[in-house]
Amino acid sequence: MPDQKPNVHVVDHPLVRHHLTHLRSRETTPIQFRAHVRRLASLLAYEATQDLDEEPFEVTTPLTRMTGSVVSSSLGLVPILRAGLGMVEPVLDLVPDAQVWHLGLYRDEETAQPVHYYSKLPPGQPVDLALIVDPMLATGGSAIAALTTLKEWGVPRIKLLSIIAAQDGIDAVSEASPETDIHVCAVDAELNADKFIVPGLGDAGDRTFNTPG
């Protein structure tokens, strides 16, 4: 793996490698696939939320009063439909007050360009931090389209969480939005002629929802 830019964070952990190996296997069933996505999304979210803003909060324990802290940032989860849906629930387990907004993007198989077909972002005040979640970062086209939409909404901080990325996708997103932190579990070397990540794991949406392509 080549040296990465400061905005790229690869989670280096035995549990990540364990679950990722099973996720890649063609023998992994859809129910197993979804479970591994959940575990990896939790580990990614844990790393990506280390710098959330906090504020003091006083509580009464069974023994005394004490001051702890609570998260003060408003957080938005933005799954890119449809594969990104599998990453939402595990992040909500960690941050149950997060808002969830959906962006519908798919890749045109002939041009490999993103097609934007759905957006559910509200007017008015955006969240303080948005986490775009999509299991695969291949060419980077869908991620860049999502970043553009969120910036137009006015989100001041955006992070991208993907389980597997191709180096091409990382380079494209970093060039288009160098201030965006990218959190991934692995960086694969190449894209094939059909713009699929190699070795990759196939089509994450089809494997999540048991819809063979």
**Whole-number pLDDT of residue 111:** 65
Exactly one of 21, 29, 111, 211 is catalytic; which is it?
111
Contact (CB, 8 A) for 177 and 5: no
Determine which one of 24, 34, 107, 157 is catalytic. 107
Which of 4-13, 43-52, 60-69, 88-97 bottoms out in mean pLDDT, i.e. has the lowest? 4-13
Active-site residue, 26 included: no
- Residue 87 structural domain: 11-50+74-209
107 catalytic per annotation: yes
pLDDT band at 69 (very low <50, low <70, confident <90, very high): very high
Mean pLDDT of 149-168: 94
Residue 9 has pLDDT above 80, yes or no: yes
Closest-CA residue to 161 (of 43, 73, 81, 54): 43
Both tokens assigned to 59:
């509580």
**pTM for the predicted model, two decimal places:** 0.90
Alpha-carbon distance of 129 to 46, in angstroms, equals 15
The residue behind tokens 């690869």 is 10
Marked catalytic residue, from 34, 39, 157, 206 = 206
- Work out the pLDDT band at 106, boundaries 50, 70, 90: low
CATH number of 91's domain? 3.40.50.2020
What is the pLDDT averaged over residues 207-213?
A: 85
Share of the chain above pLDDT 90, in %: 73
State residue 108's pLDDT score: 63
pLDDT at 82: 83
List CB contacts of 76: < 8 A, sequence separation 6 or more: 98, 99, 100, 101, 126, 127, 129, 130, 131, 155
6 inside domain:
no
Query: Is residue 185, in this structure, part of any structural domain at all?
Result: yes
Instruction: Give me the catalytic one of 24, 128, 157, 203.
Output: 203
Catalytic residue check, 203: yes
Task: Please confirm, yes or no, whether 208 is among the known catalytic residues.
Answer: no
**Structural domains of the chain, count:** 1
